[in-house]
Copies of this chain bind each other. A is one copy, B any other.
C-alpha cells in the first residue's frame, strides 16, 4: 500500500504535491478532509464489525446508514463529500428504484486502495489521542 520506496526506485510519479501548481497538490487538499477520511473508513469497515475479525469485503452502505455512522455530519457535507468521491472514482453510487428510493455507496478498487491509508490516519488519531492530549497540556502549561 505505502509503496514509497518502490515509487522512487521504479516509475517515478510525474506529480509532486510539494509544487503548488501540481494537480496532486489540489488532490491532496481534497483528500485531507475529515469527512473524506471518515466516509472512506466507514465504507471499508462494514465487514470488520465486532465479532467478525476478517476484513473480508466491504458491504455497500446506504446514505442514511452513513449519516448515522458519521455522527454529527450535516447532510450537506455528507452529500458533498460523496459526490466528490464519486467524481474522483473512489466510490460508486447505486440507485435502486424502490419506493422510497434506495441509494447505496460502495468503494471502487481505487477507493479500496486508499482505504488503508485513511484507516491508518483515523486509527493513529484514536491510538495516540491520549499522548497528544498530554503533550498539549505540557505545552500550554509551559506557556504560563
A42 to B20, CA, bound (A): 14
A2 to B44, CA, bound (A): 15
* Residue A27, interface by CB 8 Å: yes
Starting from the known contacts A8-B48, A24-B125, A31-B124, 18 additional A-B residue pairs (CB-CB under 8 Å) come to A2-B120, A3-B127, A5-B53, A7-B123, A13-B127, A13-B129, A15-B129, A17-B37, A23-B133, A25-B34, A27-B132, A28-B125, A86-B139, A89-B131, A89-B139, A110-B131, A116-B120, A117-B124
Q: Do most interface residues of chain A lie in helix, strand or loop, or is the interface mixed?
A: helix
Q: Interface residues, chain A, CB within 8 Å of chain B?
A: 1-5, 7-9, 13, 15-20, 23-25, 27-29, 31-34, 36-38, 41-42, 48, 53, 69-72, 86-89, 110, 113-114, 116-117, 119-136, 138-140
A27 to B53, CA, bound (A): 26
Whether the Cβ atoms of B18 and A71 lie closer than 8 Å is yes
Copies of this chain present = 2
Whether the Cβ atoms of A125 and B15 lie closer than 8 Å is yes
